[in-house]
Amino acid sequence: LRRFILIGQKAASSEDFSLDDLPGTSGRLDVLLRSVRAAMLTSHGLRPDVVVYLVLLGGARAPRTMRFDSSAVKFLRPDERALATLARKVLASRADEGGSGFASVKAGIMLARGGLDVVLADLGGAARYVLEEGAPDVRAEPDFGREDVAIFVGDHTGFSDDVRAHLDAAGARPMSIGPVRVHADDAVAIVQNELDRREAREHARARVDD
């Protein structure tokens, strides 16, 4: 299983944003939604083994976390407006009120009160990484992807000091995906590509060993 956690420092935690000006009214939820596409969708397909968490730290209802599970989600479209429409419907739900942990809102999509803590409690034994420019390169990590991974990605402003300290305490290992700082959704696509290559190499090796 591949898990991606996007931390939206000002991303809207309620449905109060405009589809006609997503970047200007949603605390850059658009960055996070493009990352959902990059993590879950291939050209004409849905990956079977991805969970994405959007940690929404902006607006009156924050903190709140949306969880997308590709094995159960239906009708996920790649265009940003369709994803924003979906996110607005999910955020209009009050299924998470009063409860603890994730509550189901739509097929494969859940919502929880809380931020990083609810995500960390949901990760199981996945190896934790935090994407950070200047950290050791993913290509120097021979074991990356051999087990389930949970990868933390910052938004357009990176991580706050608080979140970064929390991730350190949670055992997330810093990792870079190359020398150039890219957009969050591109960082997710690069990680997916790296994991795809490693998985393909493993399969090829297994075929030779058979």
Considering the complex, state which of residue 183 and residue 198 has its C-beta at the smaller distance from ligand SAM: 183
Q: Is the dihedral of CA 78, 82, 87, 93 positive or negative?
A: negative
Considering the complex, state which of residue 113 and residue 128 has its C-beta at the smaller distance from ligand SAM: 128
Q: Which of 15, 117, 133, 141 binds ligand SAM (CB under 6 A)?
A: 133
3-state secondary structure of 191: helix
Pairwise CA distance, residues 138 & 117, whole Å: 26
Q: Which of 50, 63, 58, 71 is nearest to 30 (CA)?
A: 58
Residue 173 as a binder of ligand SAM (CB under 6 A): the answer is no
The answer to whether 188 and 129 are in contact (CB under 8 A) is no
Residue 187 as a binder of ligand SAM (CB under 6 A): the answer is yes
Tokens for 62, please give them. 């924050």
Residue 171 as a binder of ligand SAM (CB under 6 A): the answer is no
Rounded least distance, CB 196 to ligand SAM, Å: 18
Site string for ligand SAM, 19-48 (x = CB under 6 A): ------------------------------
Radius of gyration of the chain (CA): 17
- Number of residues near ligand SAM (by CB under 6 A): 18
Residues near ligand SAM (CB under 6 A) are: 131-133, 153-154, 156-159, 176-178, 180-184, 187
